[in-house]
Amino acid sequence: MSSRTSPISRPVTVRRAVARDAKRLTRLVRGSGAYAGQYAAAVAGYRVGPDYIEAHRVFAAVGADEQGAPVLGFYSLVLAPPELDLLFVADAAQGRGIGRLLVAHMRSEARAAGLDRVKVVSHLPAEGFYRRAGAVRTGTALADPPAVPWDRPVFEFRVSPE
């Protein structure tokens, strides 16, 4: 099995991100292969700052058995209005279940916050991932040039009570 399709082989922990994670999360966003080529401009100047991390529910997936382990992925849940604002998995960790782990964790956090649904404005290459993770397409976000010159699919995760 290739590393792109193998399940998580080492223990992974999802923990609350802290201000000192900001640079690592920013590097993960800017270095994402999903934003190469025509999509590069969308994240070229993007910054996940300490203030953003403190204002929202940002969680990072890290290797559970290593001190100072690299961030394998992260997500940001905005509560009002409910939206999965960011979800990134490091290119080297894709295909190993990290994205599904983060989505499951996000749903748990949303449920704990009393939410019944969470909106996602998807990046085009991530559309298939969100469908496989259980999101339902609800519409289209129209292009907003110059930052985002293409239409994007809008999805919704329904969050069931426990």
- Whether the CB-CB separation of 30 and 120 falls below 8 Å is answered with no
Task: Give pLDDT, residue 67.
Answer: 64
Q: Measured on CA atoms in the order 32, 38, 44, 46, is the torsion positive or negative?
A: negative
Task: Give pLDDT, residue 4.
Answer: 38
Mean of pLDDT values over 58-78: 87
Eight-class DSSP state of 113: T
Run of H or E including 39: none
Lowest mean pLDDT segment, chosen from 8-17, 94-103, 104-113, 138-147: 8-17
CB atoms within 10 A of CB 133: 19
> pLDDT by residue (tens digit) across 30-57?
999 999 998 888 898 899 999 999 999 9
pLDDT of 9 higher than 90: no
Decide which of 11 and 6 is more confident: 11
Q: Are strands 117-121 and 152-158 parallel, antiparallel or unpaired?
A: antiparallel
3-state SS, residue 32: coil
